[in-house]
């Protein structure tokens, strides 16, 4: 029985390890040298105090050659929102904002960014942090690569599915960008394993086999802090980490591990530069933040301090509160449904998502939006709204509500003497005249109006309705594209018809 349970545990461990994610950054000697050079000025960095820094980011939205599989701007903004929250939670005064979105249609970059460095360097912006969002990162070795920083090209690459996963991958790679090492530096690819390493680490050093200068010898950090300046990540407020995060992906170390002095290791599993994703919240340590700030202040990061236009951090907070339609409501008129929500402070725009048999996504700057394309008599599983601005957005989710559409159309005919109304050509285009044809049994003066769905008047003129067949021509110069309402208004009432001008 015992042997079976050991076998099962082994199977589970293998399955877990192979699905574990990791970063693909290779820490160069230059990065370490920058870190050490900057460390000499940590006192100045600290003395300078905490003036806010606004850091521009360019997101490269990478699609395949045919434009398919393109990440949305909102996906980038959601990741940016989480990034800003993580820095805030760490106590940082650095704020990241979108400088630009750049769409790239290139399957090679999208599926094998590690082998596409030349193509990517041609696309980078020289006055912001460059983040390429891709479908896939080809990798070797243990674990899936979720993202990496390229010191050669000075850009970051993120797997698309990591942008919103709250796996802190973007934060982690930004840490590398600003010179930080892994808390488990030296242990990459040979992470602590109780069956190999036992409960006490007697070694004094470890030889790098991955993600650093291969063959370099790194001192193994002690719990008492006596060698923290020269061992591991070279940072003293992050305790020893022998690669525990990759091995357990947990928030509390499941093993008792001792260093060579016999001191029990108390790692910071919630540290962003560790490999654990088991904690709900991951943060940087205070000294890591000083190292990041010192790197930002260094000469080689001059370019990040130019073109900075933001002067105030204006985050978009909280969920968007939905107003109408109410949860479960049946909206009788199906082809003109207006969705409304509470305005969100600092929001620059909103994305409304409606999920039924089809999914609709529309952008608006107003706290309301009218949809005219919904089908009658349909159950919609949800509608939701997220708010965005230049600092990100949408990262705190959204309320969702379901609703149904009824069967009534927004078209109205109050004129019982008018029949056989026909509007053509069909479809209507903005460079063709519109003919409105109908039959009337009486004579009456009418005002013909075109207005937008929100009520703005586009065009208006008077006609005399004749008894018999009528033809009213609207000149193409008066027709704008979009959804318009044609109104024929008389003293006896109105006809309203929705027309779509392509």
Q: Does 347 contact Zn ion by CB under 5 A?
A: no
**CB of 176: closest distance to Zn ion in angstroms?**
5
Q: Would you call 456 exposed, middle or buried from its count of C-beta atoms within 10 A (0-12, 13-18, 19+)?
A: exposed
The 10 Å Cβ neighbour count of residue 270 is 18
8-state DSSP, 391: T
CA distance 433 to 423: 11
Q: Does 145 contact Zn ion by CB under 5 A?
A: no
Instruction: State which residue has the least CB distance to Zn ion.
Output: 23
User: In DSSP terms, which residues pair with 277 in a beta bridge?
Assistant: none
Candidates 8-16, 20-28, 62-70, 162-170; binding stretch for Zn ion (CB under 5 A): 20-28
**Judged by CB, which is closer to Zn ion: 25, or 277?**
25
**CB of 260: closest distance to Zn ion in angstroms?**
26
Cβ atoms 232, 184 nearer than 8 A: yes
Residues 6+ apart with CB under 8 A from 283: 86, 89, 90, 270, 271, 272
Return the structure tokens found at 457.
Answer: 């008047």
**CB of 86: closest distance to Zn ion in angstroms?**
15
Among positions 439-498, residues that touch Zn ion (CB under 5 A) are none
**CB of 170: closest distance to Zn ion in angstroms?**
12
**Judged by CB, which is closer to Zn ion: 98, or 174?**
174
Candidates 19-27, 42-50, 116-124, 486-494; binding stretch for Zn ion (CB under 5 A): 19-27
Query: How many of the chain's residues bind Zn ion (CB under 5 A)?
Result: 2
CA distance 179 to 73: 28
**Judged by CB, which is closer to Zn ion: 168, or 388?**
168
**Judged by CB, which is closer to Zn ion: 129, or 320?**
129
Q: Does 25 contact Zn ion by CB under 5 A?
A: yes
Host H or E run for residue 244: helix 244-248
**CB of 190: closest distance to Zn ion in angstroms?**
15
Of 127, 146, 152, nearest to 27 by C-alpha is: 152
Specify the residue for token string 């905490």: 50
Give the distance from CA 310 to its chain's centroid: 20
Cis bond before residue 325 (omega within 30° of 0): yes
**CB of 12: closest distance to Zn ion in angstroms?**
25
Candidates 16-24, 45-53, 344-352, 383-391; binding stretch for Zn ion (CB under 5 A): 16-24
**CB of 175: closest distance to Zn ion in angstroms?**
7
Q: Does 277 contact Zn ion by CB under 5 A?
A: no
Which of 6, 14, 19, 23 forms a contact with Zn ion (CB under 5 A)?
23
**CB of 146: closest distance to Zn ion in angstroms?**
9
Cβ atoms 438, 470 nearer than 8 A: yes
CA distance 38 to 234: 12
Candidates 18-26, 138-146, 262-270, 443-451; binding stretch for Zn ion (CB under 5 A): 18-26
Return the structure tokens found at 292.
Answer: 């990041």
User: In DSSP terms, which residues pair with 353 in a beta bridge?
Assistant: 361, 384
**Judged by CB, which is closer to Zn ion: 181, or 301?**
181
Q: Give the binding site for Zn ion (CB under 5 A).
A: 23, 25
């Amino acid at each position: 029985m015992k042997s079976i349970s050991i076998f099962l545990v082994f199977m589970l461990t293998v399955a877990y390890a192979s699905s574990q994610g990791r970063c693909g950054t290779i820490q160069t000697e230059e990065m370490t040298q920058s870190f050490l050079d900057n460390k000499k000025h940590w006192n100045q960095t600290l003395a300078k105090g905490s003036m806010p820094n606004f850091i521009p980011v360019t997101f490269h939205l990478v699609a395949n050659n045919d434009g398919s599989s393109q990440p949305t701007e909102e996906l980038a903004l959601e990741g940016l929102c989480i990034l800003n929250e993580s820095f805030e939670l760490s106590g940082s005064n650095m704020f990241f904002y979108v400088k630009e979105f750049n769409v790239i249609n290139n399957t090679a970059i999208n599926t094998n960014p590690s082998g596409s460095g030349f193509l990517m360097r041609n696309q980078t912006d020289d006055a912001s942090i460059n983040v390429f969002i891709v479908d896939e990162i080809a990798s070797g070795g243990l674990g899936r690569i979720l993202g990496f920083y390229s010191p050669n090209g000075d850009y970051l690459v993120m797997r698309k599915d990591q942008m919103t996963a709250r796996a802190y991958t973007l934060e982690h790679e930004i840490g590398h960008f600003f010179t930080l090492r892994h808390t488990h530096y030296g242990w990459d690819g040979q992470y602590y394993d109780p069956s190999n390493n036992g409960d006490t680490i007697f070694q004094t050093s470890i030889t790098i086999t991955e993600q650093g200068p291969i063959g370099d010898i790194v001192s193994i950090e002690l719990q008492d802090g006596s060698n923290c300046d020269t061992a591991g990540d070279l940072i003293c407020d992050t305790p020893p980490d022998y690669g525990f995060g990759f091995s357990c992906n947990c928030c509390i170390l499941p093993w008792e591990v001792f260093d060579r002095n016999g001191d029990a290791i108390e790692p910071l599993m919630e540290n962003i530069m560790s490999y654990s994703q088991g904690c709900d919240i991951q943060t940087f340590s205070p000294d890591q933040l000083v190292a990041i700030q010192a790197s930002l202040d260094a000469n080689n990061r001059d370019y990040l301090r130019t073109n900075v236009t933001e002067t105030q951090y204006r985050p978009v907070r909280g969920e968007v509160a939905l107003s109408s339609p109410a949860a479960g409501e049946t909206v009788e008129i199906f082809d003109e449904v207006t969705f409304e929500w509470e305005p969100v402070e600092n929001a620059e725009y909103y994305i409304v998502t409606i999920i039924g048999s089809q999914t609709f996504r529309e952008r608006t700057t107003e706290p309301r939006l009218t949809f005219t394309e919904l089908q009658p008599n349909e159950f919609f599983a949800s509608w939701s709204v997220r708010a965005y601005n230049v600092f990100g957005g949408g990262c705190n989710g959204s309320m969702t509500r379901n609703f149904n559409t009824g069967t009534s159309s927004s078209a109205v005919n109050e004129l019982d003497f008018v029949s056989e109304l026909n509007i053509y050509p069909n479809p209507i285009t903005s460079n063709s005249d519109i003919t409105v044809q109908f039959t009337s049994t009486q004579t009456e003066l009418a005002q013909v109006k075109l207005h937008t769905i929100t009520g703005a008047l586009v065009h208006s003129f008077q006609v005399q309705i004749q008894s018999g067949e009528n033809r009213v021509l609207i000149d193409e110069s008066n027709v704008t594209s979009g959804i318009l309402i044609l109104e024929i208004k008389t003293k006896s009432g109105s006809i309203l018809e929705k027309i779509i001008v392509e």
